[in-house]
Structure 1
Amino acid sequence: MAVDKAIDDSLLMKIPAWWNCLPGFEQMHAEAKLIGEQVLRPNADISDREGVYPRVSLQAIADAGFGAVTVPEEYGGLGAGCSGFAVLAETFAQYCGSTTMVWVMHTAAVQTLFMAGSHEQRLRFIPKVVRGAVGGLAFSEPATGSHFWNVVSKAPRSGEGYMLNADKSFVTSAGEADWYIVETNSPESAKADKLMFLIVEKGQDGVEAFPFDALGLRGNNSGPMKFKDVFVPASNRLGEEGGAGYWNDIVIDPFFLLGSSACWIGIAQGAISAAVEQAKRKVHADTGKSVAGYQVIRHEMAKAQILVDSARSMLYRVADKLDQAALKGETLDSCLYPLWELKTHAADIVIDVTNKALQISGGRGYLRGNVERFMRDGRAGAIMGPTNEVLREWIGRTLIGVPWLE
Structure 2
Amino acid sequence: MTTEGTASVETALGEALAAIEEERDTLAEGAVRADRDAAFPKDSVEVLRRRRLLGAGIPAAHGGLGLDLPALAEIALRLGELCGSTAMIWAMHQIQVHALVRGAGKQPLIAEALRRAAAEQQLIASVTSEAGIGGNLRESRAALEPLGAGYEFTKHATTVSYGEEADAYLVTLRRGTAAAPADQVLVLARADQVRLRATGAWNTLGMRGTRSAPLELRGLVDAGQVLDEPFGAIATRSMVPVSHLLWAAAWTGIAAGAHRRAVHCSRARARTALRTGAFTPDPRLGRMHAALRALVDGVRQFAGDHARWERAGEFDGDLTARANALKITASEETVRVAVLALEVCGMAGYSEDGEFSVARHLRDLYSGRLMISNDKLNAVNSEVLLFGDDVLA
The answer to whether 1:315 aligns with 2:310 is no
The answer to whether 1:398 aligns with 2:378 is no
Aligned to 2:170: 181
Q: 1:247 aligns with which of 225, 229, 234?
A: 234
- Say which SS state the counterpart of residue 209 (structure 2) adopts: coil
Aligned to 1:3: none
- Say which SS state the counterpart of residue 232 (structure 1) adopts: strand
Task: Find the aligned partners of 1:375 and 1:275 in 2 and give their Cα distance.
Answer: 13
Task: Find the aligned partners of 1:163 and 1:25 in 2 and give their Cα distance.
Answer: 40
Q: Structure 2 counterpart of 1:58, which letter?
A: V
Task: Find the aligned partners of 1:394 and 1:138 in 2 and give their Cα distance.
Answer: 23
The answer to whether 1:366 aligns with 2:356 is no
1:66-122 deviations in Å (ceiling 9; x for gaps): 222222211112222110111110111001000011111101111222223423322
Task: Find the aligned partners of 2:181 and 2:211 in 1 and give their Cα distance.
Answer: 34
The answer to whether 1:171 aligns with 2:148 is no
Q: Structure 2 counterpart of 1:335, which letter?
A: L
- Say which SS state the counterpart of residue 182 (structure 1) adopts: strand
Range that drifts further, 313-322 or 62-71? 62-71
Aligned to 1:301: 285
Task: Find the aligned partners of 1:268 and 1:186 in 2 and give their Cα distance.
Answer: 40
Task: Find the aligned partners of 2:277 and 2:208 in 1 and give their Cα distance.
Answer: 33
Aligned to 2:144: 155
Aligned to 1:214: 204
Q: Structure 2 counterpart of 1:139, which letter?
A: T
Deviation at 1:45, TM superposition (A): 0.2
**Which runs of no fewer than 5 residues in structure 1 stay unpaired?**
1-21
Q: 1:31 aligns with which of 18, 37, 47?
A: 18
Task: Find the aligned partners of 2:66 and 2:21 in 1 and give their Cα distance.
Answer: 21
Range that drifts further, 183-192 or 130-139? 183-192
Alignment CA distance shift 1:313-1:153 (3 Å): same
Q: Structure 2 counterpart of 1:389, which letter?
A: D
Q: Structure 2 counterpart of 1:397, which letter?
A: E
Retained in 2: the 8 A contact 1:250–1:333? no
Q: 1:101 aligns with which of 88, 100, 105?
A: 88
The answer to whether 1:136 aligns with 2:122 is no
Retained in 2: the 8 A contact 1:283–1:290? no
Deviation at 1:350, TM superposition (A): 1.2
Task: Name the Cα RMSD after superposition.
Answer: 2.8
- Say which SS state the counterpart of residue 223 (structure 1) adopts: coil
Deviation at 1:204, TM superposition (A): 3.9
- Say which SS state the counterpart of residue 368 (structure 1) adopts: coil
The answer to whether 1:324 aligns with 2:303 is no
Question: Taking structure 2 as the reference length, what is the TM-score of the superposition?
Answer: 0.87
Task: Find the aligned partners of 2:75 and 2:96 in 1 and give their Cα distance.
Answer: 16
After TM superposition, list the pairs within 5 Å mapping 1:56-95 onto structure 2. 56-95=43-82
Task: Find the aligned partners of 1:216 and 1:192 in 2 and give their Cα distance.
Answer: 32
**Which runs of no fewer than 5 residues in structure 2 stay unpaired?**
1-8
Question: Taking structure 1 as the reference length, what is the TM-score of the superposition?
Answer: 0.84
Alignment CA distance shift 1:373-1:36 (3 Å): farther
Task: Find the aligned partners of 1:264 and 1:236 in 2 and give their Cα distance.
Answer: 32
Aligned to 2:4: none
Q: Percent identity?
A: 22
- Say which SS state the counterpart of residue 170 (structure 1) adopts: coil
Range that drifts further, 265-274 or 193-202? 193-202
Aligned to 1:381: 368
Alignment CA distance shift 1:398-1:148 (3 Å): same
Range that drifts further, 82-91 or 179-188? 179-188
Task: Find the aligned partners of 2:63 and 2:243 in 1 and give their Cα distance.
Answer: 22
Q: Structure 1 counterpart of 2:382, which letter?
A: G
Deviation at 1:261, TM superposition (A): 0.6
After TM superposition, list the pairs within 5 Å mapping 1:322-361 onto structure 2. 322-331=306-315, 335-361=319-345
Deviation at 1:333, TM superposition (A): 7.0
Deviation at 1:176, TM superposition (A): 0.8
Alignment CA distance shift 1:143-1:305 (3 Å): same
Alignment CA distance shift 1:287-1:334 (3 Å): closer
Aligned to 1:111: 98
Task: Find the aligned partners of 1:397 and 1:163 in 2 and give their Cα distance.
Answer: 37
